[in-house]
Structure 1
Amino acid sequence: MRPNARFVKMAALAALVLAAASPGAARAETIARERLGCRTAAVNERLLAMVQADDAEGYGRLLRGSLASGECKYWKPGDEVELGNRTIGYACMTAKAGSGPCFWTPVTALEKGD
């Protein structure tokens, strides 16, 4: 019996996602561009959805509250971080100088800027 081609593609994608999300040894990285990181990727996604919906008021409210509570923080260019887990689109980072909480940040924060 020949496997369904769509099933094979979905299984390969699932394996890729699991491999990307699996824990591994943390490695040092340097932030290339200022980025926002939050303790949960869900907050990043909510902020992005508000930008896409052109909801400046909701975005500002959520951002201010998240920064004030420590849920989110800004990573500045040159900040040294330890990169732990990764998912598609996000990396979980902690400050290299300490063992603080993990903040989910878009992986583009690690890419070299123009």
Structure 2
Amino acid sequence: MRKIHDYRDQKIRHFKWFERPTVLFYRKRRYACQTCGKRFAEENPFVERYQRFSKEWNQAVNLRSIHANTSKDLAFQFGASVSTVIRRFDAVAKKELQGHPEFAEVIAIDE
């Protein structure tokens, strides 16, 4: 059984809307477990835990980072810092590279 403990306001950066930066103010519920007393926040479908950017924003940056000329251009387009864009790209690249096997170090050529 869970009981509502309190509410916390979370500021979430989202897409530009009509060419204006959009910030979502989300009032998330925090629950208290009645057996152990531990506090925890409710799950929500639009932002990951400990994140300040929406899932849709992250997906758009991930898709555009593949085809972008520079990280600086992409950061300016999405209103974020260059280091944020680079971190997002590195996370996607690392995830994609984990699924591929390593290449052999020695290649034998038979004539």
- Report if TM-score (shorter chain) is over 0.5: no
**TM-score, length of structure 1 as denominator length:** 0.23
Higher helix share: 1
Larger relative CO (CA 8 A, sep 6+): 1 or 2? Answer: 1
Larger radius of gyration: 2
